[in-house]
Amino acid sequence: MNISKLAIHGGTPVRARYLPYGKQVIDEEDIQSVIKVLQSDHLTSGPAIAQFEADIASFTGAKYAVAFTSGTAALHGACYAAGIGEGDEVITTPMTFAASANCVLYLGGTPVFADIDPFTYNLDPARIKERITAHTKAIIPVHFTGQPAELDEILTIAKEHNLVVIEDAAHALGAKYKNKSIGSIGDMTMFSFHPVKHITTGEGGVITTDNPMYYEKLLQFRTHGITRDQKLLQKNHGPWYYEMQFLGFNYRITDIQASLGISQLKKIGSFIEKRRQISEFYTKELASIEEIVLPHQLSYVDSSWHLYILRLQLSRLTAGRKEIFQALQKENIGVNVHYIPVYHHPYYESLGFQKAICPVAESCYEQFITLPLYAGMDHRDMADVVDAVKKVISYYSNQRRE
């Protein structure tokens, strides 16, 4: 079998220019939306924020939406609204960005990691049940890669044990679970607007909820714990009066960011459709490669395709994940890895978390490689990714014949 020499060994790379794994798509409408706010009287705490929140609530089917400076800040607010504090435990997945667990630590709680399903890579409901104790207060399922977790089972478990469900949907804006929009199902749902997500506000996040009590707490939490709402004031000295009623944070998003979000959200349908097309192209073109496992999609969910992850069959390869990762990078394909299990980080180790508590997640981590996927990719970009994967995997296949 004649295989082109890999770029990592001095051969010519598949691409002349580097293709990132993800980035924002900004057009003239987005730019003009931001300029309009910059020329207005309100750069923060103005009408664009309320409009963005209303648009997000309408899109997801939730009653309320509260925007924050980041998805992490939004999760922090959701945990506060859920009443998480010292001594409380919150079950989540290790296959996520650290924020999904950090938000519990911020309030003195303890994240408890449950293992993932080996096919969907989402939280395994059976493993959730094993982790519940008298101290469990909430569950934070993560809709990994944009594919919703098994929400019916998770919500049933939560109801049986009187737990709050906070969905980490940083990957899942526009996704659906059994024809229900993510953002309208759990007690609270977080979306992220980081530049690699489906839409961006630069940095930003939001919590959606149908619960008016959570809504009021979230509003106050993002503004130092301060309220001007006369219904909530303990005293009232006059129309200027406001009260700080608890220790909140300055997590206010700006009108500049919100205006970009308003414009970006108008394009969410086309963004998700493009992501779906890229994913389908990858699946079609890579399906015959025995050395990799492609994403497994449940029939009753609509993924928003934030990530496209390959799982390497390392026993069929003559190189490890690191070598394959580096080879694809040398071909100018910006692959990535999602995620390092949260409890592998040194800070979590310092808290006493041990390795091997979630063996499926740990095994997956050793085999995962994330391919580039974003709405701004064209057909040449998609084809280059496929060509590079075929080239590198063929080179390192233990079935290869020189």
The CATH number linked to 237 is 3.40.640.10
Tell me, yes or no, whether 2 lies in a domain.
no
From the CB of residue 22, how many other CB atoms can be counted at a distance below 10 Å?
Answer: 19
**Rounded alpha-carbon distances, angstroms, from residue 140 to 78, 92, 149, 364:** 10, 5, 10, 20
Tell whether 184 and 96 lie within a shared domain.
yes
Global pTM? 0.97
Tell whether 286 and 316 lie within a shared domain.
yes
- Model confidence over 293-311: pLDDT tens digits? 999 999 999 999 999 999 9
Tell whether 318 and 385 lie within a shared domain.
yes
Residue type, 97: F
Q: Of residues 137, 197, 217, 391, which has the active-site annotation? A: 197
- Model confidence over 268-295: pLDDT tens digits? 999 999 999 999 999 999 999 999 999 9
Q: ∠336-337-340 over CA atoms, to 5°?
A: 150
Annotated active-site residue 197? The verdict is yes
Which residue, of 234, 265, 296, is where some domain finishes? Answer: 265
Tell whether 107 and 243 lie within a shared domain.
yes
Residue type, 363: S
Overall domain count for the chain: 2
Tell whether 195 and 295 lie within a shared domain.
no
Tell whether 272 and 261 lie within a shared domain.
no
CA dihedral 337, 281, 288, 1 (to 10 degrees): -90
Which residue, of 265, 288, 323, is where some domain finishes? Answer: 265
Show the domain range for 297.
7-22+268-396
Strand order in the sheet with 308-312: 292-293, 308-312, 368-371
pLDDT band at 159 (very low <50, low <70, confident <90, very high): very high
Tell whether 41 and 181 lie within a shared domain.
yes
Which residue, of 265, 290, 305, is where some domain finishes? Answer: 265
Tell whether 205 and 278 lie within a shared domain.
no
- Beta-carbon contacts of residue 303 (< 8 Å; ≥ 6 apart): 145, 146, 147, 148, 172, 175, 276, 279, 297
Tell whether 204 and 282 lie within a shared domain.
no
Tell me, yes or no, whether 401 lies in a domain.
no
Q: Hey, what are 222's tokens?
A: 């993002």
Tell whether 318 and 276 lie within a shared domain.
yes
Tell whether 119 and 212 lie within a shared domain.
yes
CATH number for the domain spanning 364: value is 3.90.1150.10
Question: Is the predicted pLDDT of residue 186 greater than 50, yes or no?
Answer: yes
- Cis upstream peptide for 241 (omega within 30°): no
